[in-house]
Amino acid sequence: MHPGSRIGSVYLCREPVDFRKSIGGLSALVEQQLEMSPFGDALFVFVNRQRDKIKALYWHRNGFCLWYKRLEKQRFAWPVLAQEQPTCTLTMQELEWLLEGFDLWAHQPHKTLHYAATT
């Protein structure tokens, strides 16, 4: 995510989160709901209810970094897990595939979109 950062583990938060949350709210969610430390070498990935936005939170040396991606069409694939599993663990390669649009569980990418203008 950041040049020089070391990501040891990638955790997808199973439940959608309120995307009004930023660094403070997401780091508190990691500590309180996931019962994990946000200060390690892990990357925590969150999705909104519509699954068209992703936020990734990680600690880098002396502060948090927050990364955000919004899809213009389609949705991110997301695992269906049992209620007792709050997270799903991925490798960095699997995260890259997820961000590129691959459904890690069905193996189909998003379609590439080409726009001429934003309005």
Residue 110 confidence (pLDDT) above 80: no
Residue pLDDT, tens place only, 37-48: 999 999 999 999
Q: How far apart are CA 69 and CA 54, in angstroms?
A: 5
What's the pTM? Answer: 0.82
Q: What is the mean pLDDT of residues 29-35?
A: 94
Q: What is the mean pLDDT of residues 50-62?
A: 94
Residue 108 confidence (pLDDT) above 70: no
Residue pLDDT, tens place only, 78-91: 877 666 778 888 88
pLDDT given for residue 48 in this prediction: 95
Residue 21 confidence (pLDDT) above 80: yes
pLDDT given for residue 109 in this prediction: 67
Residue 112 confidence (pLDDT) above 70: yes
Contacts of 44-49 with C-beta under 8 Å, sequence gap 24+, read: 44/11, 44/13, 45/10, 45/11, 45/12, 45/13, 45/90, 45/95, 46/13, 46/16, 46/17, 46/19, 47/12, 47/13, 47/16, 47/17, 47/76, 47/78, 48/16, 48/17, 48/18, 48/19, 49/16
